[in-house]
Amino acid sequence: MILCDKCKAKEAVMHRIIITNGKKHAQHFCLECAAQAGIMMFKLPSFAELAASEQMSDNSSLKCVCGHTFSDFKKTGMLGCTECYNTFSEKLLPIISSAQLGRTQQKNRSFTSSVPNESEDVVSLQKLLDEAVATENYEEAVILRDKIRALSRDKQEEPK
């Protein structure tokens, strides 16, 4: 076990190599000391973290007919009923988009109901894009921008 260079008590889990004047120097830190030293940690957020990181806003006190609040969702990552998807739609869409690689429209093989028209989709995507930019969520914004472009392109090509 490699001990942390800083506290010399806990097991080191973060390792970095610094090269100064062509000389290599290895550093080892435990999680706490790495955080204190401000070393960046790259870790993909879990779905629960993603939900919890959603900024609180005025409608966070919204309550669904089933009694579920958005805070409940943030705590558990679970919704209370199907109506929750409508009640919290505005806040849920960016979360769904992040969890599903930017996709927010189903392509199920067995689905027979009508699919919402594209212009409606572009409008709602644009709204999401504005929101993502406002909250400085640029990764999400790039995905949304590409989707809007692709949809607009498809539409232009259609009449040919």
Partner 1 sequence: MNVSDVVLSCRVRLARNIDEFPFPSKLSKEQTCDLTEKIVGASKSFGEFNHVKISDLNPNERNRFVEKHLVSHELISCDNASFLVNEQETLSVMICEEDHMRIQCILPSLDLYSADKLSFSADKAFAEKLSYSQSPRFGYLTACPTNLGTGMRASAMIHLAGLTMAKQTDSLFRQIQKLGVLVRGFYGEGSAALGGIYQLSNQFTLGVSEDDIIETLDRTLNRIAEQEMNIREVLYQKNKTLIEDVIMRSFGICKYAKRLPYDEFMSHISNIKLGISLGILSNIPMQSADELLIKCQSASLALHMAENNIKAPDDVARAEYLRNNFFNMERYI
Residues that bind partner 1 (CB under 8 A): 47, 66-68, 76-82, 85, 92, 95-96, 99-101, 103-111, 113-116
The DSSP letter of residue 77 is S
Smallest distance from the beta carbon of 125 to partner 1, in angstroms? 12
Residue 20's CB is within 10 A of a number of other CB atoms, namely 7
Smallest distance from the beta carbon of 48 to partner 1, in angstroms? 10
Nearer to partner 1, 8 or 47 (CB): 47
Kind and range of the H or E run holding 20: strand 14-20
- In the chain, what is the straight-line distance between the N-terminal and C-terminal CA atoms, in Å? 67
Smallest distance from the beta carbon of 92 to partner 1, in angstroms? 7
Nearer to partner 1, 8 or 103 (CB): 103
Q: Is the dihedral of CA 130, 132, 136, 138 positive or negative?
A: negative
